Structure 1
Amino acid sequence: DIDECDFPAIYGCYDVNKCNITGVTCDLPIITECENNQGSYECSCRDGFTNLTTGTNGSVPYRCEDINECASDIHNCNLTVSTCVDVLGSFDCICRLGYQKDNSSTVCVDIDECKNSFGATPMCNTTSSFCVNTIGSYHCDCNA
């Protein structure tokens, strides 16, 4: 047992935090959490990871694996206007050309190219045409 009991009549017994000692068999701290319990410890996977093994007190090395949210279809990317990319412990929605993320981190919205002149150059020749925004793009129509 890893708990300490030095001179119990004088000092009493105390629990040693097993998560802070060498030999604890939880996976890397970036992907697992170690919870110290009285006389033992328990490993668990962080969000975005799933366990490959189970074990407590070093009986079996506890291993976690990244969940591929994109392949598992447990993401909220709109695949019509974005692509899902798996990242460690999570996912990212990459907007397609003509779209950009709104204030959320996953929703892609149409870029109004007619409002965004992208620098000093207008999207269309304003003397002979006008800009018409379309979903994911734009086009220039001639003045009447």
Structure 2
Amino acid sequence: MQQAPGGQSPPPGPPEAAGAETKAAEIKAVIVGDGGCGKTSLLMVFARGDFPKVYVPTVFEKYTASFQVDGKPVKIHLWDTAGQEDYDRLRPLSYSDANVVLMCFDVTNRSSYDNILTKVRQRRGLLPPRAASQGGCPPIPSSVPPLVPHSGTRR
């Protein structure tokens, strides 16, 4: 048994507990929505603290952020998907093993909101159902009410 300075025994417990780091919980989050609705900007601000100055359409990007929740390390892998229709067949490939799907739309563009409803249906068919206690979120409702009244014009 090791002795601490001063001849005292170390506190009970496994020897690796004193200096061991806790392995970070890993989360995969996929963000979907129309092109230009702000998905990449949202992820870059979260992961890097930097807002992009120029719009560059994304085909696929992955960002990683690490933080603490209740004193425990968490690593989140943020998968940024293409919003353009040309990539509708590729997007579902990113859903496998996702813990979270973030669905974004442009509040000034009604079609962006309508298109997210299509992505909700797509998500529902491709992700396994998760209990609220496992995923931390209730299941997506069968219909999504309008969140913001929309005049049909872009400001």
TM-score category (smaller protein): under 0.3
Q: Higher relative contact order at CA 8 Å, sep ≥6: structure 1 or structure 2?
A: 2
What is the TM-score with the length of structure 2 in the denominator? 0.22
**Higher Rg of the two aligned structures:** 1
TM-score (norm: length of structure 1): 0.24
